[in-house]
């Protein structure tokens, strides 16, 4: 569906780009989050968090990256935990963990689809927690 909308907008002359670019092809978490998953959110995070921190602290690239993951965690808390009034801390922990894992894979030069897949899915219950599934997703499935 995104591809169809993208093609229509491109045909109409709007300079759009793919929002989700074959995320299953990512061989690192860094690639997944920076280039393949929700690129609009990546751009927003770069503008609001990453670039300002990098400009202020030019030698603290890992700090700027990690802060971007923390920002994402806070926004996901607002979108996932707050509506159901439960599961607080899980989404933030998921993204903080990913910030640390991105740094680890950079330092150890890890490049593997299997690594990326496991690192994304294993802690997923922190992000998509039971209260959210029961309070938001289940009612949506029952009404369809």
Max intra-chain CA distance, the chain: 52
Between 123 and 14, residue with greater pLDDT: 123
pLDDT at 109: 96
Tens of pLDDT, residues 93-117: 999 999 999 999 999 999 999 999 9
Mean pLDDT in residue range 73-84:
97
> Residues with Cβ < 8 Å from 57, sequence gap 6 or more?
63, 64
Which domain does 137 fall in, by range?
23-143
| Distance (Å, whole) CA 20 – CA 38 | 5
Cβ atoms < 10 Å from Cβ of 97: 17
Query: Does any domain span residue 12?
Result: no
- What percent of the chain has a predicted confidence (pLDDT) above 70? 99
Query: What pTM value is reported for the model?
Result: 0.90
SS3 content of the chain, % helix, strand, coil (to 5): 75, 0, 25
Given a contact cutoff of 8 angstroms between Cβ atoms, the answer to whether 75 and 68 are in contact is: no
Domain count of the fold of the chain: 1
Query: Does any domain span residue 15?
Result: no
Query: Does any domain span residue 73?
Result: yes
Tens of pLDDT, residues 10-54: 889 888 888 899 999 999 999 999 999 999 999 999 999 999 999
Torsion angle in degrees (nearest 10) through CA of 90, 80, 65, 41 = 160
pLDDT at 144: 62
- Specify the residue for token string 């709007």: 14
Query: Does any domain span residue 9?
Result: no
Query: Does any domain span residue 3?
Result: no
Query: Does any domain span residue 4?
Result: no
| Distance (Å, whole) CA 128 – CA 16 | 29
Query: Does any domain span residue 84?
Result: yes
Query: Does any domain span residue 46?
Result: yes
- Specify the residue for token string 């509506």: 83
């Amino acid at each position: 569906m995104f591809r169809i909308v993208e093609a229509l907008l491109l045909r109409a002359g709007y300079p759009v780009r793919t929002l989700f670019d074959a995320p299953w092809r990512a061989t690192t978490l860094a690639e997944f989050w920076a280039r393949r998953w929700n690129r609009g959110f990546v751009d927003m995070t770069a503008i609001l968090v990453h670039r300002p921190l990098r400009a202020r602290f030019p030698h603290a690239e890992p700090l700027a990256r990690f802060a971007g993951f923390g920002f994402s965690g806070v926004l996901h808390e607002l979108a996932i935990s707050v509506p159901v009034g439960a599961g607080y801390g899980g989404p933030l922990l998921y993204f903080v963990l990913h910030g640390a894992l991105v740094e680890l894979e950079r330092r150890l030069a890890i490049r593997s689809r299997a690594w990326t897949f496991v690192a994304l899915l294993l802690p997923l219950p922190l992000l998509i927690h039971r209260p959210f599934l029961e309070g938001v997703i289940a009612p949506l499935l029952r009404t369809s």
